[in-house]
Structure 1
């Protein structure tokens, strides 16, 4: 493991049992290897069912590891106990896709943000000061602490979720489709917030998305997943503008453009690619 590597996933295999006698398990990840450096963003992109969310869940300890390893700062955390995972939560946090369902609707924002601080043993006074600091960091008013999640817009709720992830000053945040439920203008503001926070704090992101345009905007490097495998990996500019793998090329062509003629040409090119490189699901 390189001294400059924060997270390293090595030949990771994740399997889930299926119903039936002697039925082979479903293999969601097939020997995946990626790494993330301190202060770096690795964009993980692929269609639904490609395995990208499973990889994020495995890093968080929420998916079973069948083979391979997950190293964080040189320590194998793939088989960590619940107690070890709780300690690791200081360094690894998550922002989920739907900001509303990830926030307790019955709790006020101040209590939501203070909860992880209390769990780590901080005093009420220290927690209050940190909550005010977090709200300022994500550009929300101080009186937000007295309000419920339903009183905020989707973009504001995602800012709250980001603030909660930042509460313990983690080194890595797993971002699982954090802007896909937002409209385009709100997406842009939240992505800019992620970039500003990274610049201010040095936090690293494993940024999961199905949208190549989104990962191009925020990522330093991009890994493309297809049926549980990494099919292409490299600098964001290279992978998102001049992809080499046919599947990545199809993803790029799937992004809509405002010009109807260009959109029709992209659609035809995508069909041609699908014909020359048809889907093949590994068994």
Structure 2
């Protein structure tokens, strides 16, 4: 099967201070791929470069080297018209649903906006909004309410509905559940899985939490300081990681089992003692 997204030897540096200055490399030769209908979990701590990969795929951060192919097309430095066309196929769900939703617009207008931008009629957009709300488990009367009237989990469902509006083939999910409580996290993750099964959409799922990618991902790539330190099947990476950095991430992941949590705390303590010895 041909990969839907193929990132090869990607390098990226943000501008530094001063005229023509270049900052340190944020991405240092990253290579990952995603098949149609697959979820790749991209895991790492803050500053590891994982969000920068998502921004590069979306065209928000221009790479300084390497390539990004989408369905065989090189989109590494795609022009604005090409990006507008790609919006049908590549969408995003951000971490904070409230800041990504216009507080002055009703939900119906928020969901209709991308459809109308792609030259759908207002009538077709209204029908699609009703269908989208139903798909993400929100009542029809939600269309006439404002983002502030919803809980965090409900707002994230609205953000997911907006991402689905154009029937994309890939959604970049940038920490989409990290601002939610554990119970709401589980519900939203289940929604992502259900939507993938029904639509065949692929996810680049960016998170710092290995327990989250265990729930949703087919494969996992672990990032540290701009490089992939370990990748493979989710079951392997989240149970018997080989890289010390991945092992540290696994020990830091929360768990509802008090015995397992106690063991993880002890493992972290032993690791700190070994590091200072």
Aligned length: 276
User: Equivalent residue for 1:192?
Assistant: 190
User: Equivalent residue for 1:203?
Assistant: 201
Q: Structure 2: how far apart are the matches of 1:194 and 1:16?
A: 32
Name the SS for the 1:159 alignment partner. Answer: helix
Q: Deviations over 1:143-167 (max 9, x none)?
A: 1111100011110000000000000
* RMSD (Å) for aligned C-alpha atoms: 1.7
Q: CA deviation at 1:19?
A: 1.4
Q: Structure 2: how far apart are the matches of 1:137 and 1:261?
A: 38
2:72 aligned with 1:77: no
User: Equivalent residue for 1:6?
Assistant: 4
1:94-243 to 2 correspondences below 5 Å: 94-243=92-241
Name the SS for the 1:168 alignment partner. Answer: coil
User: Equivalent residue for 1:57?
Assistant: 55
Q: CA deviation at 1:268?
A: 3.8
Q: Structure 2: how far apart are the matches of 1:248 and 1:88?
A: 34
Shift in alpha-carbon separation, 1:249–1:87, aligned structure 2, 3 A: same
2:34 aligned with 1:31: no
TM-score, reference length from structure 2: 0.95
Name the SS for the 1:25 alignment partner. Answer: strand
Q: CA deviation at 1:273?
A: 3.9
Give the unaligned 5+ runs of structure 1.
Answer: 279-283
Give the unaligned 5+ runs of structure 2.
Answer: none
Shift in alpha-carbon separation, 1:22–1:251, aligned structure 2, 3 A: same
Structure 1 residue ranges, 4+ long, deviating more than 2 angstroms after superposition = 20-25, 256-278
Q: Deviations over 1:39-75 (max 9, x none)?
A: 0000000001100000000000001210000000001
Shift in alpha-carbon separation, 1:244–1:196, aligned structure 2, 3 A: same
User: Equivalent residue for 2:245?
Assistant: 247
User: Equivalent residue for 1:281?
Assistant: none
Q: Deviations over 1:19-39 (max 9, x none)?
A: 147865221100000000000
Q: Structure 2: how far apart are the matches of 1:262 and 1:142?
A: 42
TM-score, reference length from structure 1: 0.93
Q: CA deviation at 1:266?
A: 2.3
Name the SS for the 1:62 alignment partner. Answer: coil
Shift in alpha-carbon separation, 1:261–1:235, aligned structure 2, 3 A: closer
CA contact (8 A) 1:246 1:277 kept: no
CA contact (8 A) 1:6 1:37 kept: yes
CA contact (8 A) 1:107 1:148 kept: yes
